Amino acid sequence: MREGALLEARGLTKLYGPHVGCADVSFDLFPGEVLAIVGESGSGKSTLLSVLSTEMEPSDGAVSYRMRDGAVESLFDLDEARRRVLMRTDWGFIRQDAAQGLRMRVSAGGNVGERLMAVGQRHYGKIRASAEDWLARVEIDVARIDDKPTTFSGGMRQRLQIARNLVTHPRLVLMDEPTSGLDVSVQARLLDLIRGLVAELGLAVIIVTHDLAVARLLSHRIMVMRHGRVIETGLTDQVLDDPHEPYTQLLVSSVLAA
């Protein structure tokens, strides 16, 4: 693993019989770095994210992660209990459908508090105070702390999902199309919120998006995928301003023409 890297993926491949989900994907991710994975539907970006999150086992390849104590562990060599703890504490996952990332029958405060309990906090007053603080940070009225997410708008659910994931101060956050399906004005506010929190907390982020404007706004580096393979990678501005691959050029030109 490269010195200073937080996560290393090598040769990640996921096959579904003859169908390729993703193939031979390799990259490093460093603390504080935001990597965008872009491509059209069916490009393999969501499959890759599912493998990185350990929700899917790869057909081949490995993912290594540098723990808080400096030890480097292979994610797929961890037992299920250790992997689950890692995902609940040191990692976050902001899902496209907030209902999949929240407990919809639990209050807003309870959703945030659950993550704190996962890292050993038991004092009710302190947990509730932390939940109130994070609701305020993601621009949710603290008076709604006891309301359930079922009563929230789509944008509010996404902000609650962000609070739930960041309250434990994870070092790595995975994001799957976090603004997709939201009104343009809501998207803009949410992106501003995400960008501010990522910078403030020094998070490492892997974000999957089909929206190149989102990639440009949030990411330092970009990987372009097609048919399960990475076809171009580099600094975000360089790739989007001077794409080398014809497919990347087509993606960029389609945005400019829209």
Q: Does residue 245 lie within any of the structural domains?
A: no
Q: Does residue 9 lie within any of the structural domains?
A: no
pTM for the predicted model, two decimal places: 0.94
For residue 145, CA distances in Å to 82, 123, 137, 196 come to 31, 17, 13, 23
Q: Does residue 139 lie within any of the structural domains?
A: yes
Please give the chain's pLDDT, 258 residues, in tens: 889 999 999 999 999 998 999 999 999 999 999 999 999 988 999 999 999 999 999 999 999 999 999 999 999 999 999 998 899 889 999 999 999 999 999 999 999 999 998 888 889 899 999 999 999 999 999 999 999 999 999 999 999 999 999 999 999 999 999 988 888 888 999 999 999 999 999 999 999 999 999 999 999 999 999 999 999 999 999 999 999 999 999 999 987 654
Number of domains, the chain: 1
Distance CA(52)–CA(62), nearest Å, equals 9
Q: Does residue 131 lie within any of the structural domains?
A: yes
Instruction: Give the domain extent around 150.
Output: 91-169
Q: Does residue 127 lie within any of the structural domains?
A: yes
Q: Does residue 41 lie within any of the structural domains?
A: no
Q: Does residue 130 lie within any of the structural domains?
A: yes
